[in-house]
Structure 1
């Protein structure tokens, strides 16, 4: 049954989305402020289960694109993602019946909510990544046959580009990335126009509800004086993700990052407080790999995230700083993201990593 997303839900959803963002997807705080302002003005957001979407409905994915650090410098006004949607509708000659998040992680959980609040369109409780990934073709929509284009790309000046590459979603990403760089490093997009039937078949179901649940679990654990990390592990065990585990607790000893080609790339090192063990994280907007010396601890598409050691609040890659006391926390991925077709698109090799994917629960069992 369709349900309303309430104002009080937003902080929990943002917190859970930051967790599912695997360090990327952008800090949801800016988006949280924008969506909160819309609901305080009387807007409503209706959440639909994928099975509640009409088979012939037109559903469009909404998101921001670019380097998360740039969003901090170029705070959106809120019109940009709506304009991208409207330009895509004009190009298609049809209005959308619903929107869906491109990804459920970070700021890109909030941008579709903003569009829903401003347009009155319902938002589908699901997404195409189950986390955050750095490239547009890395979506289950595309893995299972949906064309990402035509895509509309809009910046804060109202400049818009439409790109059509058919079912060649990797080329769509390549062209769209170049446009985004020319637009100043961040833009807002409407993409993957699809039917309700395709949503049911290709989306990862229930991820907005999951983000809300995970954020609530962290908050209530503090209120009840429970260990939030234990609470997260228990919560994840009953979801399609099934597995959560704390790899290491310690402090950040080094962070190297640079923005180039529309991405933030770098490494972070976290050492135990006694200095006897170190984990190195490799990221491209999102954390992609965790290693301890020669030992692989986790690798995409499994989720690797850094949480504050006391609060369990997620810390994005752009917010990592020397001296922070943190936990490295890993989460397994749903079955829809573990198929050979999916791993070809967003497994380790897709990021240039010389690793074969091994489920994180198996890697943890070996440590």
Structure 2
């Protein structure tokens, strides 16, 4: 157990933004929410998952919807107090702790703000080890844990409790509600016991995010800092360095869809990369050949500072590194690939781990 100070929150936001794989929302907005809550209510206690009693009720706190909308449509501020109160009345049990549903700029910060304002601890664990666009795309689903009852609300005060027959129905119905709420909503989802969090969650994700963020912060002080140190910390692979020459985006059904085209520079001159995304980056092609797919992480960082780039912040002419990170081993199981592999997203591709693709590329 330890308490998160302002520097830790800053580093978590940066690291989780990288693990957001292009999605997860603007880390700046989430960070401001967390800073404000901690300044007003005091520091947040971060628990290791082993410190959570097996029978304790834990619930994630997050936002749902199109990340680009978060930039202009901010929460009211007291949504999660209402959501936790409604869940407590509905379940007849008080919530012991909250945790992030995913790693991402917004959803890594929401639980910090919630924990501070409600005076409860946050657990160093999530259900993805990265960010994904749909609610059923969690390691909890692999283990058969239900997402509901969930509590959902918007900034206007429309609130409800949802129970569904499975997690795919949770996604469909909650997404429809979110669209009607203006493409974003606040929610508390996956009310589970400590024992389930221990067996089905991705452990130490907050600490991992913090370590990545600290590494980037230290490297950003060095002029022309090397990407290799960041790759060593994350076990990642360098795919291409280049300049963004095109970004196309559309918002449909509560998702951001689009494509980013990057023209190689320096050693990658005469190469071109294309990234296809649905909130998060899903497929990466280099010179027309697929070199990485979900569930592995396709990430962009600034060429000079190594600060992670989210898809809503990409602009023509921006110079970036593309790096690929291996996903949590739970996603590489048959059930995990069925949930979040490229075929689920509509691509006629089989998932191949990034390290295997990189070995093949090196031998070619």
Q: Name 1:200's counterpart in structure 2.
A: 198
Taking a change above 3 Å as real, the CA distance of residues 228 and 76 of structure 1, as seen in their structure-2 partners, is: farther
Q: Name 1:127's counterpart in structure 2.
A: 126
Residues in 1 aligned to 2:209 and 2:230: alpha-carbon distance in whole angstroms? 12
1:287-321 superposed Cα distances (whole Å, 9 cap, x missing partner): 01101244111100000011111111011001111
Residue 251 (structure 2) pairs with residue 259 (structure 1) = yes
Residues in 2 aligned to 1:40 and 1:58: alpha-carbon distance in whole angstroms? 27
Taking a change above 3 Å as real, the CA distance of residues 226 and 334 of structure 1, as seen in their structure-2 partners, is: farther
Residues in 2 aligned to 1:234 and 1:306: alpha-carbon distance in whole angstroms? 16
1:185-228 superposed Cα distances (whole Å, 9 cap, x missing partner): 10001011100000000000000000000000011123356835
Gap runs ≥5 in structure 2? none
Shift of 1:142: 1.5
Residues in 1 aligned to 2:78 and 2:27: alpha-carbon distance in whole angstroms? 17
Residues in 2 aligned to 1:247 and 1:316: alpha-carbon distance in whole angstroms? 17
Q: Name 1:151's counterpart in structure 2.
A: 150
Residues in 1 aligned to 2:253 and 2:332: alpha-carbon distance in whole angstroms? 28
Asked if the contact 1:217/1:228 (under 8 Å) is kept, the reply is no
Asked if the contact 2:220/2:306 (under 8 Å) is kept, the reply is no
Asked if the contact 2:220/2:304 (under 8 Å) is kept, the reply is no
1:26-64 superposed Cα distances (whole Å, 9 cap, x missing partner): 012111111111222242201111111100000101110
Asked if the contact 2:224/2:304 (under 8 Å) is kept, the reply is no
Q: Name 1:357's counterpart in structure 2.
A: 351
TM-score normalised according to structure 1 size: 0.95
Q: Name 2:15's counterpart in structure 1.
A: 16
Residues in 2 aligned to 1:31 and 1:138: alpha-carbon distance in whole angstroms? 22
Taking a change above 3 Å as real, the CA distance of residues 57 and 226 of structure 1, as seen in their structure-2 partners, is: farther
Asked if the contact 1:81/1:111 (under 8 Å) is kept, the reply is no
Shift of 1:133: 0.2
Q: Which consecutive segments of 4 or more residues in structure 1 shift more than 6 A?
A: none
Shift of 1:128: 0.3
Q: Name 1:182's counterpart in structure 2.
A: 180
Asked if the contact 2:41/2:117 (under 8 Å) is kept, the reply is no
Shift of 1:93: 1.7
Shift of 1:78: 2.4
> For this pair of structures, how many residues does the alignment match?
359
Gap runs ≥5 in structure 1? 237-242
1:246-283 superposed Cα distances (whole Å, 9 cap, x missing partner): 11011001111001100000100001137511110000
Alignment partner of 1:218 out of 195, 216, 219: 216
Asked if the contact 1:222/1:228 (under 8 Å) is kept, the reply is no
Asked if the contact 1:63/1:81 (under 8 Å) is kept, the reply is no
Residue 339 (structure 2) pairs with residue 345 (structure 1) = yes
Residues in 2 aligned to 1:269 and 1:172: alpha-carbon distance in whole angstroms? 34
